[in-house]
Amino acid sequence: MKAKTIQEAVRKSPFKPFFLQIDNGAKVKVEHPEWIIFNGRKTECIVAEGRDDFHYLDLDHVSGLAYLQNGHRSRNRTKGK
């Protein structure tokens, strides 16, 4: 997934929490726009989940993005690398 796709979700106003789907089936929740940061080349990111959990992600292994609305997954976006 391209960083641009994720950055568009982060900049959305009002912000809506979303999950990043990893190609191994794991999901990482982005609960706040300030809890994700990208490296300079925009090929990797770090996501804070709560106070103690951090996820280091290579964007080549992020396969999708899903928003949550009313407690249910409502929209799933996937884009090529």
Per-residue confidence at 29, pLDDT binned at 50, 70, 90?
A: very high
- Against a cut of 0.85, is the pTM above it? no
* Max Cα distance, the chain (Å): 35
pLDDT single digits (tens) 40-72: 999 999 999 888 899 999 999 999 999 987 654
List the domain boundaries for the chain. Answer: 3-71
pLDDT exceeding 90 applies to what percent of the chain? 78
Which token pair is 7? 């950055």
3-class secondary-structure state, position 70: coil
Residues in the chain: 81
Residue 81 has pLDDT above 80, yes or no: no
Mean pLDDT, residues 14-18 taken together: 95
Rounded to a whole number of angstroms, the distance between the first and last alpha carbons of the chain is 5
Which token pair is 29? 């929740």
What is the residue type of 39? N
Residue 2 has pLDDT above 60, yes or no: yes
Class at the top of the CATH hierarchy for domain 3-71: mainly beta
Residues whose CB falls within 8 Å of the CB of residue 24, separated by 6 or more in sequence, listed in order: 61
Left (φ > 0), alpha (ψ -120 to 50) or beta: where does 10 sit? alpha
